Copies of this chain bind each other. A is one copy, B any other.
């Protein structure tokens, strides 16, 4: 099981937590899982392709960590996935017993900066400014995510992670500004 498998399993665990006080936890469709991943996981893990969401669900169902339930609303067939008891314990075991890898960063801006000597100073400048703009977009996205999470207790940790992400982006903006200043001095 890859980390992404557990990440998706984790999304299903939240679905249960949210649904506790409702009549039924009906689970999530593959499509909904993808949407949730795009709102949270994407900022600090991955945004899996739809096709991967479905193949991961197949795997989790095979391992009985997830329960599928077919649903027919009109002519449309959808499968809703929900985490099983076994899935929940498996997730908890992973959370507490697997060792937590150091983060992996793939930073094309830094990579190109390394070879800055082969690039004109104006081109470097342009690249860094474009990066600042991209950062601003990301910040806006994440700010909205944070706002929508609210102060609900069940979403305390997702909110915490969103705040962490905002701090992260703030730091990245500062570092980029510092770098631009340094380059201007050369």
Contacts and interface: CB of A to CB of B under 8 A. Distances in A.
Interface of A: 3, 7, 10, 13, 17, 40-41, 43-46, 88, 91-92, 95-96, 100-120, 123, 127, 130-131, 134, 138, 154, 156-158, 160-161, 163-165, 167-168, 171-172, 174-175, 178-179, 182-183, 186
- Helix, strand, loop or mixed for chain A's interface? helix
A99 B95 CA distance: 37
Given A3-B111, A110-B44, A111-B3, A157 B100 contact: no
A145 to B, nearest CB: 12
Interface centre among A109, A112, A123 (most CB of B within 10 A): A112
Contact of A41 (B10, B17, B111): B111
Contacts of A183: 160
Contacts of A17: 117
B123 A10 contact: no
A97 to B, nearest CB: 10
The CB with the most chain B CB atoms within 10 A, among A40, A154, A164, A183, is that of: A164
Nearest to A124: B157
A72 to B, nearest CB: 32
Contacts of A158: 114
A159 B172 CA distance: 18
Contacts of A40: 114
A169 to B, nearest CB: 10
Contacts of A105: 43-45, 103-106
